[in-house]
Structure 1
Amino acid sequence: MTVALIIPARFASTRYPGKPLAMLRGVGGKAASLIERSWHAANDVAGVDRVVVATDDDRIRDAAQSFGAEVVMTSSECRNGTERCAEAVQNMGITPEIVVNLQGDAPLTPAWFIEDLIAGLRADPDAGLATPVLRCSGQMRADLLAERAAGRVGGTTVVFGAQMQGLYFSKEVIPFAGGHYAPDDPTPVFHHVGVYAYRPDALAAYPTWPEGKLEKLEGLEQLRFLENGHRVLCVEVEGRGRQFWELNNPEDIPRIEAMLAEMGAA
């Protein structure tokens, strides 16, 4: 096996309990759950050998199996998606070249984001993991700032160094960028897309480290790698006119449904 794509999903989300089973309407009013739409997005990715939903909840298992997904049950002790992916790989008894973690709250993730991510990790043999980053337009930056002003998290942003190594990830909008940006202007802010590609040894090491202080403060699992001195490769991806937004809050549903309609998704 070369590439295994795992969708970690838990019911007991602090901000949005039951989020994987939230229904999203596409073109014509057809409704499908968040986990089903994420599974379809995963199956659109070229070069993936196996797509699996990893969960600890019977309700999510039953829903996923109803639309044909393979499900691997994991412990309720997993603290985040990376730990759940590590346990899923162990339970599956496989050693793929690359494990992809597609967060179950990102059904709008274009296939080429993940394909470019896999290619980026393969091209850098010194990297144990990689994650995609998308340059924000003026409009996207304004939307993220508006969400924070309203007390919500619209997405995660990242700053990285000259060799594309992640320096910090935050739910605040970083870096500070004063001045005005027109809606279509590129900005120095990069949206972190919630997908990861790991080599198996890096993934297996992750659960052996204690939860990091910054990881706990931000609620961002990737910071544990940085806090333990591991490089996180950032792979820049192109939007190609596609809008991207994650389902973080119930208020995000109308926005995502509008994007699904614009894409022509059923």
Structure 2
Amino acid sequence: MSVLIVIPARYASTRYPGKPLVELRGASGQARTLIERSWRAACKVAGVARVVVATDDARIRDTATAFGAEVVMTSSECRNGTERCAEAHAALGGGHDIVVNLQGDAPLTPHWFIEALVDGLAADPAAEIATPVLRCEGAMLAALRADRAAGRVGGTTAVFGATGHALYFSKEVVPYTGCDYPDAAPTPVFHHVGVYAYRPAALAAYPGWPVGPLETLEGLEQLRFLENGRAVACVEVEARGRQFWELNNPSDVPRIESMMAEMGLD
């Protein structure tokens, strides 16, 4: 089984322009850009044939090639990371059994999340895409709620059925629980980890599907699969003591740096 990891990265983010080139300091104080940290995370994944950065921006290309990444230039017309992955896979000539989209705003993504994701998609022939979900403990749920109360998007939550296939994804905290939980207690809320594994046929079809109302309202690319009746497998992953957070806003930089320091990550 041939697995390709694509790291889509664009400079012109609406919420955080230039985000891939933001520097994060690790436990020793070493500063590395977000795109480099995402690439380093991808390179730790076992069983991967190739890792590429896909971008439409020369600044990101130059930064990525300088630290040793392979770069595929893609169109500025790509509307999201999935479309950029589809274009990159086509530009490389296809030929991979699974394409992984490791979005460049999640440098804390552990390699075992992606390994479990690939295994989960391979084991579920009914699914055309798979994505990891992490059960929230009370502290993480409280952080998600606090961000929403402050008008920030701190993460995405996922709801799935008995088969493990997604019912919905939202930037709101769903499902509603109506109660608080101790910091270390498991909750019924699942944090969606922004990584995807696609079967190539579904990935190639995706850019041709219309953008539906749910994707428009939520700004979540994976909802296009659900709106077009495609099965999305939610693969539950284990934190194993690792803290996880995505870089969505400038205020997330010190939060992620603090997590890296606590976990001794450089």
Could you give the per-residue CA deviations for residues 168-202 of structure 1, whole angstroms, max 9, x where no partner exists?
A: 00000000001221001100000000000001001
Match of 2:55 in 1: 55
* Alpha-carbon distance in structure 2 between the residues aligned to 1:84 and 1:177: 36
Helix, strand or coil for the counterpart of 1:27?
coil
1:212 aligned to 2:182? Answer: no
Could you give the per-residue CA deviations for residues 38-75 of structure 1, whole angstroms, max 9, x where no partner exists?
A: 00000000011100000000000000000000000000
Could you give the per-residue CA deviations for residues 194-251 of structure 1, whole angstroms, max 9, x where no partner exists?
A: 0000010010010010111110110000000000011100000000110000000000
Match of 1:119 in 2: 119
Matched to 1:161, the amino acid is G
Match of 1:92 in 2: 92
Displacement, 1:263?
A: 2.2
Matched to 2:237, the amino acid is V
* Alpha-carbon distance in structure 1 between the residues aligned to 2:212 and 2:61: 30
Match of 1:173 in 2: 173
Could you give the per-residue CA deviations for residues 134-181 of structure 1, whole angstroms, max 9, x where no partner exists?
A: 000011000000000111011000100000110000000000001221
Match of 1:26 in 2: 26
Matched to 1:213, the amino acid is P
Match of 1:221 in 2: 221
Match of 1:145 in 2: 145
Q: Percent identity?
A: 73
Match of 1:264 in 2: 264
Match of 1:3 in 2: 3
* Normalised TM-score (structure 1): 0.99
* Alpha-carbon distance in structure 2 between the residues aligned to 1:255 and 1:45: 25
Helix, strand or coil for the counterpart of 1:250?
coil
Match of 1:242 in 2: 242
Displacement, 1:262?
A: 1.8
Match of 1:195 in 2: 195
* Alpha-carbon distance in structure 2 between the residues aligned to 1:68 and 1:86: 23
Displacement, 1:30?
A: 1.1
Matched to 1:219, the amino acid is G
Aligned-residue CA RMSD (Å): 0.7
* Alpha-carbon distance in structure 1 between the residues aligned to 2:149 and 2:178: 16
* Alpha-carbon distance in structure 2 between the residues aligned to 1:240 and 1:217: 34
Match of 2:131 in 1: 131
Match of 2:71 in 1: 71
4+ residue runs over 6 A deviation: none
Helix, strand or coil for the counterpart of 2:28?
helix
* Normalised TM-score (structure 2): 0.99
Matched to 2:137, the amino acid is S
* Alpha-carbon distance in structure 1 between the residues aligned to 2:147 and 2:101: 25
* Alpha-carbon distance in structure 2 between the residues aligned to 1:211 and 1:205: 13
Match of 2:80 in 1: 80
Displacement, 1:94?
A: 2.1
Could you give the per-residue CA deviations for residues 71-103 of structure 1, whole angstroms, max 9, x where no partner exists?
A: 000000000000000000011112200000000
